């Protein structure tokens, strides 16, 4: 199991294998999320939301505002 030592400044070096597994490179950001059991999970934040543009192809034609409003009204009437 990879380990790291905390320096006097509170810093750690993430082991190379962990960096590779998480896809971390210079400048990558990580989040520390506390779980219900008190443990922490490290989440790699390697891409911005804008990098997702174009990765999902449209399923069909765009829906108009009128069609959205009709669908909402129909959902409320049920």
> How many structural domains comprise the chain?
1
For residue 34, which phi and psi values (nearest 5 degrees)? -80, 130
Residue 70, domain extent: 16-77
- Token pair 């390697």 is at which residue? 46
Report yes or no on 23 lying in a domain: yes
Report yes or no on 8 lying in a domain: no
Report yes or no on 7 lying in a domain: no
Q: Looking at residue 58, what is its pLDDT? A: 76
Query: Which of 40, 20, 24 shows the shortest CA–CA distance to 32?
Result: 40
Query: What average pLDDT does the segment 55-66 reach?
Result: 84
Report yes or no on 26 lying in a domain: yes
Tens digit of each residue's pLDDT (9 = 90 or more) over 36-48: 999 999 888 866 7
Report yes or no on 29 lying in a domain: yes
Cα 41–Cα 43–Cα 57 angle in degrees, nearest 5: 140
Report yes or no on 10 lying in a domain: no
Handedness of CA 64, 55, 50, 18 (dihedral sign): positive
């Amino acid at each position: 199991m990879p380990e790291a030592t905390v320096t006097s400044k509170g810093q750690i070096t993430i082991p190379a294998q962990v960096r590779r597994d998480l896809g971390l490179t210079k400048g990558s950001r990580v989040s520390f999320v506390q779980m219900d059991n008190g443990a922490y999970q490290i989440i790699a934040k390697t891409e911005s939301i804008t990098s997702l543009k174009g990765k999902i192809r449209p399923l069909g034609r765009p829906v108009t505002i009128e069609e959205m409003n009709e669908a909402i009204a129909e959902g409320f009437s049920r």
